[in-house]
């Protein structure tokens, strides 16, 4: 009996390995740790400035940058949608084919994917398509996001742990369908999103967020609030600083790889591309 269990376990492990090797099952892209950070001579556009042009810039927002090192960056900013028939996905495929990247970066971590059951675009939008192309062509794939722990460490230099705990719990909550915006789901997010040393003990119950919100933002209802491109009060400041920290990490990765002579393909939401453009140009030589 024990022998059969061992054989079954070994076959199971072998099966999973083969599914991973042949890209039938996808793991989340790894985080990328840069060797150093670049100094920006031109700052990243913050969200306040971006709000003035949010309805004016082109979509998709695509640009390429060439380096004297022979490296290149292809920046593809598109809408976060999951319709495989949308023309923006043709643009991603076209630019990938034209430039034949050697490394790819996607927004977010994506998640579990089983090729025989899921469509990459329907599951993960532009990140899913980019990941599919990278895996097909055996191109290294990373998320351009800093780890949550690293991002929190950056933000604790300016914001309190309690306010950060509120922000990280409410940000995904605000993106839920109205039917799922309830106390139980907020509690689950609090437990998941505050499980970091820097936030430990700051907020543990949804009632705490309810109490703080009612004092700080009495004119708004957190159960029905729609964040869109903004948050109230200090949550807006954290949101802006979070975006700047994420974008700076992305620029650090792109610059490092381009200066090594790599062709870097980066997919992201439409807002990130115009906000990083001038800052990225300032560090690609």
pLDDT per residue as tens digits for the range 205-260? 999 999 999 999 999 999 999 877 689 999 999 999 999 999 999 999 999 999 99
E-state strands within the chain: 25-26, 61-66, 72-78, 103-106, 113-114, 140-143, 263-269
Question: How far is it, in rounded angstroms, from Cα 22 to Cα 19?
Answer: 5
pLDDT of 226 reads: 83
Paired with 63 in beta bridges are: 75
Predicted confidence (pLDDT) at residue 110 exceeds the cutoff of 80: no
Please give the helix or strand (H or E) that residue 208 lies within, else none.
helix 206-216
Which of 138-152, 188-202, 225-239, 270-284 is predicted least confidently? 225-239
pLDDT exceeds cutoff 90 at 13: no
Rounded to 5°, the CA angle 102-27-154 comes to 80
| Interval 102-118 mean pLDDT | 78
- Does position 184 have pLDDT exceeding 80, yes or no? yes
pLDDT tens figures, 37-83:
999 999 999 999 999 999 999 999 999 999 999 999 999 999 999 89
pLDDT at 1: 65
State the pLDDT at residue 16.
Answer: 38
Which of these ranges, 16-25, 134-143, 170-179, has the smallest mean pLDDT? 16-25
Give percent of the chain with pLDDT exceeding 90. Answer: 77
pLDDT > 50? residue 8: no
Q: What is the mean pLDDT of the chain?
A: 89
The pTM assigned to this predicted structure is: 0.85
Using alpha carbons, list the distances in angstroms from residue 164 to 9, 203, 206.
43, 10, 14
Q: How far apart are the C-alpha atoms of 177 and 58, rounded to whole Å? A: 28
């Amino acid at each position: 009996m024990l022998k059969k269990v061992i054989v079954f376990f070994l076959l199971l492990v072998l099966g999973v390995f083969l599914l991973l090797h042949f890209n039938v099952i996808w793991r989340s892209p790894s985080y990328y740790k840069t060797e150093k950070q670049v100094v920006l001579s031109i700052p990243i556009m913050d969200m306040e400035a971006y709000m003035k042009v949010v309805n004016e810039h082109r979509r998709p927002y695509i640009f390429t940058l060439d380096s004297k090192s022979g490296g290149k960056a292809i920046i593809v900013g598109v809408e976060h949608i999951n319709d495989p028939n949308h023309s923006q996905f043709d643009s991603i495929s076209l630019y990938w084919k034209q430039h034949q990247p050697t490394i790819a970066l996607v927004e977010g971590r994506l998640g579990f994917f089983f090729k025989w059951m899921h469509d990459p675009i329907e599951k993960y939008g532009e990140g899913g398509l980019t990941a599919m192309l990278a895996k097909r062509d055996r191109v290294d794939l990373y998320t351009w996001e800093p780890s949550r722990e690293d991002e929190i460490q950056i933000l604790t230099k300016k914001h309190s742990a309690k306010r950060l705990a509120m922000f990280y719990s409410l940000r995904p909550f605000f993106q839920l369908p109205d039917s799922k915006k309830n106390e139980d789901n907020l509690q689950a997010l609090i437990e998941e999103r505050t499980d970091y040393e820097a936030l430990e003990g700051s907020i543990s119950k949804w009632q705490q967020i309810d109490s703080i919100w009612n004092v700080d933002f009495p004119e708004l209802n957190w159960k029905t609030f729609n964040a869109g491109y903004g948050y109230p009060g200090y949550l807006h400041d954290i949101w802006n600083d979070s975006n700047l920290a994420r974008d700076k990490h992305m620029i650090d990765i792109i610059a490092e790889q381009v200066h090594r002579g790599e062709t870097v393909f980066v997919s992201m939401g439409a807002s990130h591309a115009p906000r990083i453009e001038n800052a990225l140009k300032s560090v690609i030589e």
